[in-house]
Amino acid sequence: MSGQSALLVGATGATGRHVLRELLKDPQFTRVGEFGRRSLPESELHGVDTSKLQRKVVDFEKLDEKEWKEGHWDVVFITLGTTRKQAGSAEAFEKIDRDYVINAAKAAKSTDASHQQRLVYLSSGGANASSPFLYTKSKGLTEHGLASLGYSDFISFRPGMLAGAQRDETRIAETVFGWVTGALSHFTSSLEINVADLARSIVTAGKLGTAGLPKSAGASQVPAHEGASAYTTIGNAGAIALSNEN
C-alpha cells in the first residue's frame, strides 16, 4: 500500500529518532507527523529529505484532540517513554510513561469508523500489568490501555536491552548490563537489540500490519480481556529478524 500517513510520538527518544529517519526515507509514507514535547534537532536529520514532515510541539497536559485527529493518520507510532529517575517520582513516571501515551493514542484515533488505523507501540520486555516492578507493570498497563482504544490493528514491541542508544543521561547500571548482554548476544537473540535495527522493525511492522508479518517475527497474540481487544506482541528475537526483512 502506498500513499499512507504516519504519526510518530516520541521522536526524541533513543529509538524514536531512528524511527523518524526510517519513516522519512520510506516512500510508502507520503506524509509524516512528529508530535512531541519538543522536536528532534535538525542536525539529527542531516541528509534526510524532510519535505513530507509535519512537526508540532504539544502540551501533553492539555491535548487539543482536534489538531491530532485532523491529520487522519493511517499508522500511529508511539515510542514515548521515560524512567523513574528522569521523571523524578513514581507518580510522574506513570503519568509520562502511561497517561501521556494512552492519551496521545486516543487523541490520534480517527472518529471515522471506516478508517482502518494501525497502532504500533514501543513497550518493553517483561511488560506485565501484574508485575511487582514499576517499569514493567507500567508498560503492561499501558498496553492494556492502548488495546482498549479500538484501533483496527495494535502491535506492541517488547525488546530487551537497547544497544547503541544515544541518551541525554548516563545510566551506569544499564551500561554495565549492556556489556554483559552484548557478550551474551553472540549466543542468543533474546537479550539485546540495536536501536537502529529496532526502529527498522517497528516501521516494517507498521507497514505490514499483523496480517502481513512474516513467521520470523515470532509474533504472539494477547487475547482480548477486561475491555481490551486482542493485540500482537513482538519480542526481541522477532524484532531482530523483522529488521532484516527489508
Q: Are 147 and 154 in contact (CB under 8 A)?
A: yes
Whether 231 is a known active-site residue: answer no
Q: What distance in Å separates the CA atoms of residue 35 and residue 56, rounded to the nearest whole number?
A: 5
Are residues 19 and 40 in contact, defined by beta-carbon separation less than 8 angstroms? no
Task: Report whether 201 contacts 232 (CB < 8 A).
Answer: no
Known active-site residue 135? yes
End-to-end CA distance of the chain: 15
Strand-pair category, 118-122 with 75-78 = parallel
Question: CA distances (Å), 132 to each of 128, 135, 228, 230, in order?
Answer: 9, 9, 21, 23
Q: Contact 142/102 with Cβ under 8 angstroms?
A: yes
Which cell numbers in the block locate residue 106? 486516543
Question: Of 56, 95, 106, 135, which is the active-site residue?
Answer: 135
Task: Write down the catalytic residue from 139, 151, 207, 231.
Answer: 139
Active site residues: 135, 139
